[in-house]
Structure 1
Amino acid sequence: LRQFRVGTDRTGFTYKYRDELKRHYTLGEFWVEVEMEDLASFDEDLSDCLYKVPAENLPLLEEAAKEVADEVTRPRPVGEE
């Protein structure tokens, strides 16, 4: 989630999931939808593990999303830490 990026025409790269997490956070929404195709293009082994044993691996993805959301929303107003 932290490193996945997509190319754009003039501006270089867009960090799709980091930007989405930040946007959702500012709206008070605490979720992100990760496309399996994106995950497979980034790390095929991770994608396979998540597909084959989701109950075991989904919590790891959720924790990663929390960490990235925490990073991209700093500094936050007092009381939102």
Structure 2
Amino acid sequence: MTALLRNAKEPLLVFAKGRVGGSFGHGDLDVVLKYSQDNGKKWPRIHAVQDDGRHAVAIPFSQVGGVTGQIFLLSCESQHTEGDVDFREK
């Protein structure tokens, strides 16, 4: 999931899920940021903005505050892996 943010005062911002060490859907996931100061012509390197070690931080949602112009970033975090989930009835 990707979140694109445009603010008149700031560069063009893109937040996305960054997979660490593979293409697995769960595990070590970070929220990463790329930004462009020239309206999308050049995109410097990726920056990790949320990293919880080996846990998953994903599904970024960004919003600009209407009055202040402050940028808000929300995301989901999971401290479990597929191996931690037990679907058996107890």
Q: Verify same fold: TM over 0.5.
A: no
**Comparing both structures, which one devotes a greater share of its residues to strand?**
2
Decide which structure has the larger Cα Rg and report it: 2
**Comparing both structures, which one devotes a greater share of its residues to helix?**
1
- The two structures have a TM-score, normalised by structure 1, of 0.27
